[in-house]
Amino acid sequence: MRNIIWTINTLLLIVVVFLGIEQGGIGAQVRKIDENLENQDDVKREISEKIYENQELGNNQKIQELGFVKPENILYFDTEEAVAKLPVQ
């Protein structure tokens, strides 16, 4: 009877160790896939930024060709001009 219990316990121990090793391997694969996805996200972000920059440059060139140019100097005047006011009723 004791031999049967020891045999069953030994088999269960072997199965638990084997499953633990398998889980460790699966965890490593999941980590590798996650790193791959993060790298792909970084590449996608860089490509999107480059596309946006190229579109922005193209839009700026079109805007300049149409004559809409951002002013280089902006002057602010600190005076109030008199304007006609409606009477308050």
pLDDT number for residue 84: 63
Residue 14 counted as domain residue: yes
- pLDDT at position 61 is 74
Report yes or no on 7 lying in a domain.
Answer: yes
Each residue's pLDDT tens digit, 29-57: 999 999 999 999 999 998 888 877 777 77
d(CA 45, CA 53): 12
Q: Is residue 32 part of a domain?
A: yes
Summarize pLDDT for 1-33 with one digit per residue, the tens: 888 999 999 999 999 999 988 998 898 899 999
Q: Where are the alpha helices (DSSP H) in 1-89?
A: 2-65
Amino acid letter, 27: G
**For position 83, what pLDDT does the model report?**
63
| DSSP 8-class letter at 4 | H
Q: What pLDDT, on the 0 to 100 scale, is given for residue 82?
A: 64
Number of domains in the chain: 1
Asked if pLDDT for residue 65 goes beyond 80, the answer is no
Domain-located, residue 55: yes
Domain coverage including residue 36: 1-68
Work out the average pLDDT over 73-79: 71
